[in-house]
């Protein structure tokens, strides 16, 4: 069945609304928790690490919050999108429409949380004496690249999860490891030169976090070459992951 562009986006909007209701976001607590979660983690990590690691980092609280916003968005959105084909199995098996819309609508839902979290982050930065500059207008570009990253990871994970549902346990272990190899409570300079720093610099979240910190705290432009290479990489991976998803899509109804 071929959908026109308007039908495609209308269906995407309705699927996003359906997942919004399933996630119980109509309650105040549901909305507040998505914003309070990174702030609560911020308080705990700040108490643990500010005296040592954070003593030489300016605006360490904002520094931490930026890292937590990026990591929390990646971990929660990919974890939820991975399971969307199974959690919405009736639509996966009984309805005829492009199944990638289920994954895209799930990512879109968490994109709204990402934007809200960054607005809170900017407000806290202002309260902590960080000066607002025109560089802040570049933040949507960083968020866009992270969303593309989340989308292609979600396409791959959702495909695999249909066949191997134990993947969710392995992925939780991966996310715990990722927490420590992502420069959330430390900067890459803290690692010095060596394997640890090389490992962190291969982490795409590190590039997003460093770019956001440069824009918000340092009032400077992130490395244009680095951002361009990451953009190219993530958009290529998005195309490949979508092709892979569509290749396996005919079998989803039988496996879910």
pLDDT tens for 124-151 read 899 888 999 999 999 999 999 999 999 9
Q: Provide the pLDDT for residue 230.
A: 86
The whole-number pLDDT of residue 13 equals 77
Mean pLDDT along residues 16-31: 61
> Measuring CA to CA, how many Å separate 10 from each of 104, 144, 196, 246?
13, 21, 46, 20
- What's the whole-number average pLDDT of the chain? 82
Helices (H), the chain: 5-22, 28-49, 60-82, 84-87, 89-94, 100-127, 139-163, 167-180, 195-201, 204-216, 224-248, 252-255
pLDDT for 23: 65
Look at residue 33 in the predicted model and tell me its pLDDT.
59
Whole-number pLDDT of residue 71: 93
- Give the residue numbers spanning the domain of 44: 5-255
- Give me the pLDDT at residue 73, please: 93
Query: Structural domain tally of the chain?
Result: 1
What average pLDDT does this structure show over 158-164?
Answer: 92
User: Taking a C-beta distance cutoff of 8 angstroms, is the pair 204, 236 a contact?
Assistant: no
Where is pLDDT greater, at 185 or 153? 153
Sign of CA dihedral 9, 11, 13, 15: negative
Residue 18 sits at φ, ψ, to 5 deg, of -65, -45
pLDDT over 90 (residue 208): yes
Question: Is 4's pLDDT higher than 70?
Answer: no
Q: Name the pTM for this structure.
A: 0.86
Higher-confidence residue of 175 and 42: namely 175
pLDDT tens track for 211-242: 999 999 998 887 777 778 888 999 999 999 99
Give the pLDDT confidence score for residue 239 in this predicted structure: 95
| pLDDT for residue 45 | 61
Overall average pLDDT of the 28-36 stretch: 57
Of 100, 98, 96, which is closest to residue 156 (Cα–Cα)? Answer: 100
- Mean pLDDT in residue range 49-74: 80
Query: Would you state the structure tokens that stand for residue 70, as one six-digit string?
Result: 């990026």
């Amino acid at each position: 069945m071929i959908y026109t562009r308007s039908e495609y986006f209308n269906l995407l909007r309705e699927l996003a609304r359906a997942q919004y209701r399933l996630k119980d976001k109509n309650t105040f607590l549901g909305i507040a928790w998505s914003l309070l979660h990174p702030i609560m983690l911020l308080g705990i990590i700040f108490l643990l690490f500010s005296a040592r690691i954070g003593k030489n980092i300016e605006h360490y609280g904002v520094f931490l919050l930026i890292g937590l916003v990026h990591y929390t968005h990646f971990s929660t959105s990919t974890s939820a999108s991975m399971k969307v084909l199974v959690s919405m199995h009736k639509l996966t098996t009984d309805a005829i429409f492009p199944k990638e819309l289920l994954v895209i609508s799930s990512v879109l839902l968490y994109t709204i949380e990402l934007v809200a979290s960054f607005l809170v982050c900017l407000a806290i930065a202002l309260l902590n004496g960080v000066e607002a500059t025109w560089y802040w207008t570049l933040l949507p570009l960083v968020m866009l690249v992270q969303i593309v990253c989340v989308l292609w990871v979600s396409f791959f994970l959702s495909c695999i999860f249909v066949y191997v549902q134990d993947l969710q346990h392995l992925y939780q272990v991966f996310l715990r490891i990722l927490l420590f190899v992502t420069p959330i409570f430390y900067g890459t300079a803290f690692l010095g030169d060596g394997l640890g720093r090389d490992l962190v610099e291969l982490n795409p979240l590190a590039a997003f976090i460093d770019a956001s910190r440069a824009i918000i705290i340092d009032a400077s432009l992130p490395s244009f070459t680095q951002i361009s290479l990451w953009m190219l990489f993530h958009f290529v991976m998005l195309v490949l992951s979508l092709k892979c998803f569509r290749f396996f899509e005919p079998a989803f109804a039988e496996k879910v």
